[in-house]
Amino acid sequence: MPFITDDPNMLDDWLVVGPSTTLAGSSDAQPRTTRLLGETLHVWSDAAGAPQCRLGTQTLAIQSRYGYLWVCPSGKPTRPLFDVPEYGGPGRRMVDCGSIGVAVSGLRVIENFLDMAHFPFVHAGFLGKVPHTEVAKYQVQVDPATQEIWATDCRFWQPRASAAHDSGAEVTYKYRVMQPLTAMLYKSSHRAGELDAIALFLQPLDDEHVIAHTLLACYDDTSTDAELIAFQQTIFGQDKPILENHAFKRMPLEGRAETPTRGDTTSVTYRRWLRERGMRFGVREAA
Ligand SMILES: [Fe+2]
């Protein structure tokens, strides 16, 4: 196996390698290139429109789902790709909010995505505002059927919760972690009883670099695509320098390496969940 890791959590799962639209106009003779786990892959659409992937002379398993390409490096996935039932749902807008490189372990990017406590400080005026810093108690559990982490009943006061919100409100959140490097959040939408969905799919370039792909599945009849994308990129642009300034690019999983802060029940569960699956990729070894 030529990849830079032997961690089965990476090799035997489906990893995102970019938006499916990158295959437009490609062919076996004119493939696109993308990076995964330290290697350069060639990807293209065959004559029947099916995605194909090659590493050197070796053919890799690839599929197109949710507007993105997913590759299984070992060719032996231990499970199917997770389900996104919201994708293409009636009345939902699907917006690819772009791809941003982040120079840090993807585990840190996911952990940050799950954390509400930083909203009033990092996303002041957007996702939070001092003095509304309270993270109310919420529920976290691992679904026994799918092994996915779910954080539910999360609530947070937000001054401008989305591109279309221009006044403050308490917003309801749910979080879901499908794989070590993929997660979704669900939050109050314009449509009564329905939640907008935002998916974060991380493409691991190596232990300390990812490309973050963000997909929006929202109810919004007023904002333009450009406005929705600009909002998501603004938020991500606020997180990026903080993520990249971690003293250690890789994430420690052992207990006291970094003292847990308030409101981080999800983070504690995420790190335990990673430990239990023997995660090594992107992990900082104990000193
Ligand atoms: Fe953030």
pLDDT in tens, 241-255: 999 999 999 999 986
Q: How far is the CA of 113 from the centre of ligand 1 (A)?
A: 6
What pLDDT was estimated at residue 158? 87
Lowest mean pLDDT among 30-34, 88-92, 169-173: 169-173
Lowest mean pLDDT among 46-50, 128-132, 274-278: 128-132
User: Taking 60 as the threshold, does the pLDDT of residue 214 lie above it?
Assistant: yes
Q: How far is the CA of 235 from the centre of ligand 1 (A)?
A: 6
User: Taking 70 as the threshold, does the pLDDT of residue 262 lie above it?
Assistant: no
- Contact, 204 vs 37, CB < 8 A? yes
| 151-178 per-position pLDDT tens digit | 999 988 888 766 666 678 888 899 999 9
The set of residues, in sequence order, having a beta carbon less than 8 Å from that of 157 and lying 6+ positions away, is 128, 129, 132, 134, 168, 169, 170, 171
Q: How far is the CA of 121 from the centre of ligand 1 (A)?
A: 9
Which own/partner pairs from 270-275 qualify as long-range (CB within 8 Å, at least 24 positions apart)? 270/110, 270/111, 270/114, 270/149, 270/177, 271/111, 273/142, 273/149, 273/177, 274/107, 274/180
Averaged over 26-46, what is the pLDDT? 98
**For residues 120, 126, 132 and 135, what is the CA-based torsion angle, rounded to 10 degrees?**
-70
pLDDT-based confidence at residue 260 (cuts at 50, 70, 90): low
Q: With pLDDT > 90 as the criterion, what percentage of the chain qualifies?
A: 78
- Contact, 69 vs 62, CB < 8 A? yes
Q: How far is the CA of 106 from the centre of ligand 1 (A)?
A: 14
What pLDDT was estimated at residue 195? 94
pTM of the model: 0.95
Q: How far is the CA of 243 from the centre of ligand 1 (A)?
A: 9
Nearest CA among 257, 248, 249 for reference residue 286 = 257
d(CA 145, CA 79): 12
What pLDDT was estimated at residue 255? 65
User: Taking 90 as the threshold, does the pLDDT of residue 257 lie above it?
Assistant: no
Q: How far is the CA of 118 from the centre of ligand 1 (A)?
A: 7
Q: How far is the CA of 103 from the centre of ligand 1 (A)?
A: 15
Q: How far is the CA of 158 from the centre of ligand 1 (A)?
A: 13
User: Domains plus CATH for the chain?
Assistant: 8-72 (2.20.25.680), 93-284 (3.90.380.10)
Lowest mean pLDDT among 15-29, 104-118, 124-138, 228-242: 124-138
